Amino acid sequence: MASDLERLLGGAAQVVPAEELEGKLSLGRPLRVKLGIDPSRPDLHLGHTVVLRKLRQFQDLGHTAVLIIGDFTGLVGDPSGQSETRPMLTPAEMEANARTYLDQAGMVLDVEKAEIRHNSEWLAKLSMADVLRLTSLATVAQMLERDDFRERYREGKPISVVEFLYPLMQAMDSVATEADVELGGTDQTFNLLMGRDIQRAFGQEPQVVLTMPLIEGTDGVRKMSKSFENYVALTDPPEEMFGKLMSIPDELIAKYVELCTDIDDAPDTHPAERKRRLARAVVERYHGREAARAAEARFDQVFKRHELPEDIPQAAVPGEAMRDGLVSLPHLLKGVGLAASISAARREIQSRGVRVDGEVVDDPQALLELAQLAGKVVQVGRRRFVRIAP
């Protein structure tokens, strides 16, 4: 049977310093294991669960999961991996997103046993003298060691001074919670290592940094992100979640199985069957066994037997889609929930991913007659259907 250390190292990208984790595990007390999340968006996807699952592993081994809701840092936005300054969110947006995050994090963590903190508790109380002391502990040269900052500086793109403060604010989270271990994705490495430096400056034992890989999205190219529309959201309906997972490139199956499920991969099995096992496991984890079975049956109905689903939702043409008595297809797709935005709808149309009554429509400027749509099925991609009310 694997030791606690071996289990915790499973799937990890890097542990810094590696030898210190074993030392902390031998202290004979529960470790304080910190994960910070900025509620910059209202929902979580499978990419977020990679690090949440690692935090749950620590929790299951008797350690204290310290989940920090970045209601203060989130106002700034983490610059990690960003090519430009992020717009600042309002406190109201932060609060609304934070409520959703906690509900969804509870699908992975035992939230009742976790220590939930908001970093406004300590960051909002810092005086200007405190901020000056904090900024004296880091240099501009250090900040420009970050790949994203260095590239933006080289390209002449603006870097806000407040973005330089972000790693320091995150480091103060580690000081305030006396973190023994901090978790994050590989894109967070700079921020997490800054936490070690600042803890030392405040007379604390520095935390161990454990990073997890970023998973590519369903396109197999870019990291999973809502911005790239290649994500599998925890709140996706079961059949959509199943279908998205069946669409991932074969070379990602092993990575998804290891980082997103508790099942073992079967590399000698046909890729299609491996994806089925993956999709069943993920849907069952977040929606239950019966939902997973129904999602698989629906997938077979639509994609193996090329039949329309039996339970296609019905929607009326929204008023905002009407243009001089005709229906704007992009506005229709957004209005009935088949696309997240008008621009996303146009991209789907241009990529020949939209069908009306089985016929491809590839003109993003398409205006259709209302009578032409009544009772017809509008389909986006391979999994999204709406029947237009007669």
Strands (DSSP E) found in the chain: 14-16, 32-37, 64-69, 115-118, 181-185, 208-212, 314-315, 322-323, 326-328, 354-356, 359-360, 367-369, 377-380, 384-388
Counting every residue written for the chain, the total comes to 390
Query: What was the pLDDT predicted at 83?
Result: 45
Q: What's the whole-model pTM score?
A: 0.79
Q: Tell me the longest C-alpha to C-alpha distance in the chain.
A: 73
Half-sphere exposure for 202 (CA within 13 Å, toward CB): 22
Neighbour count for residue 372 (Cβ, 10 Å)? 12
Walk me through the domains of the chain, giving residue ranges and CATH numbers: 4-212 (3.40.50.620), 238-304 (1.10.240.10), 314-388 (3.10.290.10)
For residue 114, how far is the Cα from the chain centroid?
Answer: 20
- Mean pLDDT per 10-residue run, the chain (390 residues)? 88 95 95 90 88 97 96 74 57 79 91 95 96 94 86 88 91 98 95 96 98 95 87 92 94 96 92 95 96 92 71 87 88 90 90 85 88 86 84
Label residues 160-188 b or e (16+ Cβ within 10 Å = b): eeebbbbbbbbbbbbbbbebbbbbbbbbb
How far is 308 from 247, CA to CA, in rounded Å?
19
How would you list the strands of the sheet with 354-356, edge to edge? 314-315, 384-388, 377-380, 354-356, 359-360
Query: What was the pLDDT predicted at 77?
Result: 65
Torsion of CA 183, 186, 191, 193, to 10 degrees: 70
